[in-house]
Each structure stands twice: as structure tokens, then as C-alpha cells.
Amino acid sequence: HPASFPERSSRGSRMAPAKFGDIGKAGSSLLSDDYKYEGKCEVKTKLESGVNIKSTFTRSEKDGSIGAVLELKKGVSIVDCTGKLDHKGDATLTLENSTLVPKLKLKADVAANGSSTKVSADYAHDALMTCSTLDLSKSVLALNSSFATNGVTVGASTSFAYGKGKWATPAVSAMYDGSNYQLAASVENMGEKINVFYHQSVSKDVALALNLAQVDKKGVSLSLGSSYKIDKDSSVKAKVDSTGVLSAVYQQKIRPRMTLKVSGQVNTTKLTQENAHKIGVALLMDY
């Protein structure tokens, strides 16, 4: 679907800028979201007690292995609690609060086996968004911030490995939101990785996206994609890249609470090669 852009207030400024990781999201989402080549069945439901349940079953694209994740979510007092358990027995608990301090979102992620513990804080001001994540298991503090004014958003990100006393090379991003288009660019590793995204809403049903990327000085790659909303129940997306790989996704609401997604990928440079092409099917149910 054509991506929506952040709303502006009556004075022409945003209520809050995009997070650093969401700079250029309109273009990157059109070119990446839903392009999955696995078997998937997802069922959502809500109990009378207020517990939201999501069960997800997948068949791996790589080796055909079966996976499953059970997710339970419920608000307890001022905290939103989310628990996840996968088919391997790995469990995680996420606690979130957005009301303790105005404009501040607090979050804690804990793995039951002790392999991962993260604490994060996001602060959203009218023109400034600052996010921090403390990974206690890896002894790393990640920091990023973005600032927006008059349709322009700029941001920077870095991390500090306090166990080693070492700062990571900063990454920077910038974005401009026009009336119906978005242009964004990011630079990482002192220019070794450069990404440029352009997104254009041609109409309420049609959108285009373009990505130019340079990674590790290996040359420039190009991706071009489009999305089209056929009607209120169906849509299609397609993209092609500079390596000759053509991909498409078709989405159809087959019942009021049931959606089917079918995705496919064809490598036009290896049409006769075995395992060069991919297909994925996802069934999403919400009861």
C-alpha cells in the first residue's frame, strides 16, 4: 500500500520526528516489507480477560524446518506485558510503559535463559526524538537521536561498548518530506555504506520507490518497486533490482478476518537453474 507520511500540525511542524531507524521508512518498507519466501500461518485472538494471543507457525525458506511462536500480551496496571515462547522452549518477557513520564517510553526485554537483557528509553519531543538501549548481556549502550524542522529530518546513531571502552563509528541520516514524496539518505562506516531511498505517492492507490545503495565499496546496487491497491480487499507489490531478480507480492482478504499473502521471486539471470527461484504463502487470521 502507498505509505503515509508523518502528519504535520496546523503550524506546519510535526508532532514528533521519526526515529533514527525510521528515516526513509516509506521507501524501504515498500521495497522490503512482505517479501518473505516461507510458509506461514498466523492466528490472532483476544480473550474476555483482555489477553491478546498470537500464534505463528512457519516453514523455513532455507531448510524447510518447522517453527512456532506463541505470544501473549496484556496490560497490567500501567505496564504492557508481552510474553513469547517458541518451539525450542526459548521464552522472553517484554515490559513497556508510556505513562510514567510524559513523552517518555520505557521498555525492558528479558530472556528467560539469561542470554539477553535489554533496557531502553525513548523520549519524543515536538522536534526531537532520542532513543537509548542498554544491552546488559553484551555490555553495549546504543544511542541515536533525530531532529526535524520544516519537513527536514536529520539524525545520528552510535554505540559505546563500555566493557571495552570503545565507541562505534557514527552513522548519519537525513530526510526530506514533500507533499507526496520522501527523499532520504544514510551514511555508515565513514562512507563505506551509503543508502538513498526515494518514495513517491502517485495517487491514493499507487506508490513508487527507488533505492540506490553502496556497500563496502563493491559498487552500486539499484532497486525499483511499486505498489498498487486494487480494491479495498486486495493489493499487489512488485520490485526488480540491478542483479536481475524480480519479486512480487499479492495480498487478498479472502474473508472478513482472514488475509492471504502470496509472494514469489524469479532470478531472470538463472531461469533454468534449480533452486534459483522462490515462493512463499502466508495465511493471517484475526478472531
Mean pLDDT of 118-137: 96
Is 10 in a helix, a strand, or coil?
coil
Q: What does the pLDDT read at residue 15?
A: 67
pLDDT at position 114 is 87
Tens digits of residue pLDDT in 233-272: 999 999 999 999 999 999 999 999 999 999 999 999 998 8
- Summarize pLDDT for 41-53 with one digit per residue, the tens: 999 999 999 999 9
Which one is predicted more confidently, 49 or 1?
A: 49
Give 224's pLDDT tier (boundaries 50, 70, 90). Answer: very high
What's the farthest any 2 CA atoms get from each other in the chain?
Answer: 59
CA distance 38 to 282: 8
- Strand, coil or helix: what is 170? coil
- From CA 252, how far away is CA 280, in angstroms rounded? 14
Tell me which DSSP letter residue 19 carries. Answer: P
Phi, psi of 20 (to 5 degrees): -55, -45
For the stretch 161-220, pLDDT in tens is 998 999 999 999 999 999 999 999 999 988 889 999 999 999 999 999 999 999 776 789
Is residue 8 pLDDT above 50, yes or no? no
pLDDT tens, 15-29? Answer: 689 999 999 999 999
Q: What is the mean pLDDT of residues 212-230?
A: 90
Question: pLDDT tens digit string along 47-100?
Answer: 999 999 999 999 998 888 999 999 999 999 999 999 999 999 999 999 999 999
Rg for the chain (alpha carbons), in Å?
A: 21
Q: Which of 225, 268, 230 is nearest to 31 (CA)?
A: 225
What's the pLDDT band for 3 if we cut at 50, 70, 90? very low
How far apart (Å, rounded) are the C-alpha atoms in residues 71 and 59? 18
